[in-house]
Amino acid sequence: MKTVTTEIRLARPADAPVVAEVHDEAWRAAYRGLIPGAELEKLISRRGPGWWEQAIRKGNRIALLGFGDEVAGYANYGRNRAKALSYDGEIYELYLRPKFIGLGLGQKLFESARLDLGSHGLDSMVIWALSDNEAAMRFYRALGGKPVARSSETFGPSSLDKTAFGWNA
């Protein structure tokens, strides 16, 4: 029997190409049919390896989840950007390659990001999800997130509702 290990670590500049690859795969799977096609393509193309390398070099906290010899997903997180919400931290993005969904890896990545935020004094946190993204909505509810706010985001001609989930310390 072969043992497969999981590892979560902060991304390094050399990881930028694989983060861009995971981003591309995950966003296509998560948002196809929700975000209009041309807008989705624009969003994905803006986040190539150069964008990720710059984000990593700037010190953005981007955690990679390794599963065996593959990067299965990433989380990008830091201080809460929505000042109207009284939460310290925010997970900006948490994505897995589609083939790794349903294995409990998303929960591991979530818990790792939450612990890291807490170790930096950011004890409460928020995550936004498109309200029509049923898988994300179920996932954050299952992790104990409580809907705390609603807003909308414009993607080309479409305005999509989004929900903020909050976790207190």
Q: Are strands 70-79 and 146-155 parallel, antiparallel or unpaired?
A: unpaired
In degrees and rounded to multiples of 5, residue 15 shows phi and psi of: -85, -10
136 C-beta neighbours (distance < 10 Å), count: 21
Q: What is the pLDDT, as a whole number, of residue 82? A: 94
In this prediction, residue 129 carries a pLDDT of 98
Helix (H, G, I), strand (E, B) or coil at 110: helix
Identify the structural domains of the chain with CATH numbers, from first to last.
6-167 (3.40.630.30)
Name the β-bridge partners of 166.
Answer: 126, 146
pLDDT tens, position by position, 45-73 = 999 999 999 999 999 999 999 999 999 99
Entry pTM = 0.95
Is 93 in a helix, a strand, or coil?
strand
Sheet holding 158-167, edge to edge: 6-10, 61-67, 70-79, 89-96, 125-130, 158-167, 146-155
Dist. CA 20–CA 150, nearest whole Å:
28
Q: Return the H-helix or E-strand segment holding 146.
A: strand 146-155
d(Cα 59, Cα 11) in Å, to the nearest integer?
Answer: 10
Q: Within the chain, which residues score under 50 in pLDDT? A: none
